[in-house]
Amino acid sequence: MRIAAPEPAANPHLFGHAAAEARFARAWRTGRPPHAWLLTGPRGVGKATLAWRLARRWLAGDPDHPAASDPAHPVFRQVASGAHPDLVHLAPRHKGLVHGKRAEIPAEEVREALAALQRTGLSGHRRLCLIEDAEDALNIEGENALLKLLEEPPAGLLFLIVAQRPGLLPATIASRCARLALHPLDPAELARALATLAPDLPEERRRRLVELARGRPGRALEAERNGWLEAYAGLLEELERAGDRLEATLAAADRLAERARGLGLEAAVDLLATFLHRCARAAAGRPPEVELVAGEGERLAARARALGLDRCGALWDKLAALAASVETLNLDPVQALLPLVRTVGGTGGITAASRSGAE
């Protein structure tokens, strides 16, 4: 079963971040609110959803305006459709890498958008610039154009900047923003979010998504859209099927690594990272309270006995370093992941020569 939750710009719901929203409202009521906010937190926690909600309040002119959560309100509809004249939205056109490069917005496009904000409306008229994935969207020229406006903002112009990795933003930009740091939802709140956003999902499946997402509604919804639980079940089945047989383990590793090409590097790394994290917990005597797939506990215990706690942890660290190298060097994800997958399968020391001998 698949879901069709609204995109952040059209999502009337907000879960778990009432304190951040209240802080924004309090700052506004002082009469001298910050002219720029930087929203940070784990990917999928709700940063973009909150940013769009705050944008609707700002453009409606009231920190408590119902336009924030009323899809029938004209401001809500204008913002959701991208038709509001006082709103500029900047975001990468694609997630991740495109032909080995970040999906940056051309600097000229950024400059034109920011210039339009300065021309729009009367002096003091409320305007808003919302930037998503700012660390990827802006190149050096775009960052310089943004910095110039942050240093001398026109009256009434508000910036909402969403960053997945705020450490990659220039300090000159980050230091000019007030911060709204969002934290993962507790399991009960995430369960309520999924019951609202994906009401047709069976309750047991929602429980598994809550376990997987670890407090991030966007993570849970993306996993469901992409068939993550089925892919994870396939990973466990491949490893179990291979057992201790060398040829079977090598073949299973090849199939799992090849799957990375279809899933994309980020999804493939996430799949293996989740497995290694849960395997390490099993090796430490902390089996999962909620199984992501039927029989996961027994399968994790078996692989944990084979790998051990230290090796699970080392492989987890190696996976993170590998993902960074693949992104930086634009490597083939299949070839990059293959040695690590073989190690997870118990054949990490196998060389090409020994494989040929086995075959």
Decide: pTM greater than 0.75.
yes
Looking at residue 259, its pLDDT comes to 61
**Residues 247, 279, 328: CA angle, nearest 5 degrees:** 80
How high is the pLDDT of residue 120?
57
What is the identity of the amino acid at 198?
A
DSSP tag of 176: T
Tell me the C-alpha to C-alpha distance, in Å, between residue 172 and each of 8, 47, 288: 28, 21, 43
Q: How far apart are CA 85 and CA 102, in angstroms?
A: 29
Residue-by-residue DSSP string for 10-42: G-----S-HHHHHHHHHHHHTT---SEEEEE-S
Q: Are strands 178-181 and 157-162 parallel, antiparallel or unpaired?
A: unpaired
pLDDT value of position 326: 57
Along the chain (359 residues), what's the average pLDDT of each consecutive run of 10 residues? 77 95 96 95 96 96 92 96 92 57 71 76 74 89 88 90 92 95 96 94 95 95 89 82 58 60 67 86 91 93 85 78 59 60 55 37
How far apart (Å, rounded) are the C-alpha atoms in residues 37 and 34? 7
Which tokens is 51 given?
């940013």
State residue 102's pLDDT score.
54
